[in-house]
Amino acid sequence: MKALLLAGGLGTRLRPLTENLPKPMAPIANRPWLEHLITHLREQGVDQFVIAAHHCSDVIRRYFGDGRRWGVKIEYALEPFPMGTAGAIKNAERLLDERFLVFNADIVHLPQLIPLLEFHRQHGGIATIALTEVDDPSSYGVVEQDDTGRILRFIEKPRPEEAPSNRINAGLYILEPEVMRYIPAQREVSIERETFPRLIQENAGVYGMVSSGYWRDMGTPARYRQVHWDALDRRFPLSMQGRQVQPGVWTGEGVELGSGVLLVPPVLIGNNVKVGDQAVIGPYAVIGDNCYIGARVHCSNSILWDRSVVRDGSRLSNSIFGYRTVAPAGEEFKNSIINQPQEVMQA
Ligand code: GDD
Ligand code: MG
């Protein structure tokens, strides 16, 4: 079975981190989220992927190539302009001729596919939407269903008082190829605002099933950080690189810790990281590969992407540093999100 991964959004709410990076390539626990997702789906038996991309699509192509290294086949459907969530599907039509899966690639979840596929087969609809339940549905696609699971209404980002339920679109669909007939070609089309409402109106059979387990959209800095803290707290079974050297402390290869360094769990430190004397790392810190942390640095509730440098005595809290960020000595970074462009990612 093929999975189409929608990775062409602009990631506006995560800027500047996404200025030179598609959001699904943002690292979660030091690996691009897209890599976690592809690995998880391969374990669920999906070995063919189509990545639909536009903004910074080169970053994805250079990283994954044809997917061989991950034991999967990856094809690309690049858009001449952002074609929207359904336009991107239509644009990949020549690569999709059987029942296929679609993922919003910016959602952090590790869904079980078998129950969803079973549900889809039993209900025989043209589309099955995986659902999840949230307290405030207003920033998502909200559904109203009947007892059989059929979706009667799909409302994208309703005002809080207009939301018919707290069941939302989890950003994972099983679609029959006939869906293509309902999507106009060569223009921007939103699956949420146009295609689902039309399929429902024409009674084509749109069903929804709640997919249990961890689910989070990583689209804002606060949510992006929270996904990390949840991974460190093991609220979901994300694979972590490195060894757990003490409860809640993971370190990679070639890590050098100076004297008197304190690692306060939970902490994840990547490969080839150097930490200067008396630095305090954690709680809640994720340090990417090849980072350099100076002496007496304090770093908590913060995420540093690969090759960042924090010079002596600086303090970081609630901050995110993009690839290769250099923080001068003796500074305080609170809620800072810094990105220095032109990084080239390599697997
Ligand atoms: N290829 C391509 N082209 N991908 C796109 C495009 C496009 O023009 N526009 C958006 N995407 C991708 C994004 O990269 C993301 O992975 C996914 O489609 C969803 O787009 P977002 O912009 O992140 O939408 P959202 O988060 O506001 O809402 C969507 O996700 C919610 C779940 O988090 C909707 O699908 C909601 O209904 C849903 O509840
Ligand atoms: Mg999103």
Same domain, 133 and 277: no
Contact 219, 11 (CB under 8 A): yes
Residue 206 Cα to ligand 1 midpoint, Å, equals: 19
Question: What counts of helices (H) and strands (E) characterise the chain?
Answer: 6, 30
Residue 226 inside a domain? The answer is no
Closest CA to 143 of 128, 131, 125: 131
Residue 245 lies in a domain: yes
Q: Which residues contact 11 (CB under 8 A, 6 or more apart)?
A: 17, 18, 21, 22, 23, 26, 55, 106, 219
**254 plus 302 within the same structural domain:** yes
**Could you identify the atom of ligand 1 that is nearest to the CA of residue 168?**
39
Six-digit token string for 237: 């079974």
Q: Are residues 177 and 100 in contact, defined by beta-carbon separation less than 8 angstroms?
A: yes
Q: Do 310 and 177 fall into the same domain?
A: no
**CATH number of the CATH domain containing 18:** 3.90.550.10
Does residue 234 sit within a domain? Answer: no
* Residue ranges lining ligand 1, Cβ < 6 Å: 6-9, 23-24, 52-54, 79, 82-85, 88, 104-107, 140-141, 156, 168-169, 171, 192, 217, 219
pLDDT for 277 = 97
Q: What are residue 52's phi and psi, to 5 degrees?
A: -100, 115
Is 178 a domain residue?
A: yes
228 lies in a domain? no
Q: So what's the pLDDT on residue 58?
A: 92
Specify the residue with its C-alpha closest to ligand 1, atom 20: 9
- State the total domains in the chain: 2
Q: Ligand 1: which of 75, 85, 227 to mutate, most ligand atoms within 8 Å of CB?
A: 85
Q: Do 285 and 161 sit in the same domain of this protein? A: no
Q: Is residue 224 part of a domain?
A: no
Contact 108, 132 (CB under 8 A): no
C-alpha dihedral (284, 63, 84, 215), degrees to nearest 10? -30
In this predicted structure, what is the pLDDT of residue 282?
Answer: 95
Verify that 193 and 274 share a domain, yes or no: no
pLDDT in tens, the chain (347 residues): 999 999 987 778 888 887 888 999 999 999 999 999 999 999 999 999 999 999 889 999 999 999 999 999 999 999 999 999 999 999 999 999 999 999 999 999 999 999 999 999 999 999 999 999 999 999 999 999 999 999 999 999 999 888 999 999 999 999 999 999 999 999 999 999 999 999 999 999 999 999 999 999 988 899 999 999 999 999 999 999 999 999 999 999 999 999 999 999 999 999 999 999 999 999 999 999 999 999 999 999 999 999 999 999 999 999 999 999 999 999 999 999 998 755 545 55
To test ligand 1's pocket by mutation, which of 106, 166, 183, 220 has the most ligand atoms within 8 angstroms of CB? Answer: 106
pLDDT, residue 20, reads: 85
Tell me, yes or no, whether 191 and 295 share the same domain.
Answer: no
Domain that holds residue 294: 240-338
**Could you tell me the two tokens for 44?**
């669920």
User: How many of the other CB atoms lie within 10 Å of CB of 31?
Assistant: 18
Domain final position from 182, 217, 252? 217
Helix (H) or strand (E) holding 292: strand 292-293
C-alpha 272 chain-centroid distance:
25
CATH number at residue 310: 2.160.10.10
Q: What is the pLDDT of residue 341?
A: 57
pTM of the model: 0.94
In a domain, 27, yes or no: yes
Domain boundary among 217, 252, 285: 217
Separation of 340 CA from ligand 1 center, angstroms? 25
Same domain, 284 and 155: no
